[in-house]
Amino acid sequence: MEIQKLQRLVIDALEDVKAQDIKIFNTTHLTSLFDRVIIASGSSNRQTRSLAQSVSEAVRKHGIQIIALEGMDTGEWVLLDIGDIVIHCMQPAIRQYYDLEAVWGDKPVHVKLLPQSTQAPPVISPDQAYDPNI
């Protein structure tokens, strides 16, 4: 499948489960291992796992092999490698801490996204995440 169609398939799968702050980066000039990095945020462990599951199901339906799927046990950062694209589904605090945009963000890819997919969720510290008073 050509990269633009595969990229659209992944983005649609992420948007289907309300991914937030989706960013797509062209990495062809940085590595020969993959052509795109897609980073998306989920507001909880459950949502980040759902994001990865949605992408996984969508690519399998199109006969695309999943090379790696890691992080489903915790759901804080789920990585999905489908060959030409590596997808990072992350909670906002983890995403901010590791700042993958600084590593891969040299050449952003401009694609049409749903308005809610471009909004960053609020960053909640790990201490606040488990505070029942919030």
Sign of CA dihedral 91, 96, 98, 102: positive
| Domains (range + CATH), the chain | 3-111 (3.30.460.10)
Give dist(CA 49, CA 74) in Å, integer.
Answer: 9
Indicate whether 109 pLDDT > 60: yes
Indicate whether 12 pLDDT > 90: yes
25, 23, 77, 24: which is closest to 52 by C-alpha? 77
Report pLDDT digits (tens) over 27-79. 988 888 999 999 999 999 999 999 999 999 999 999 999 999 999 999 999 99
Report the percentage of the chain scoring pLDDT > 70: 82
32, 31, 40, 48: which is closest to 104 by C-alpha? 31
> The tokens 């308005």 sit on which residue?
115
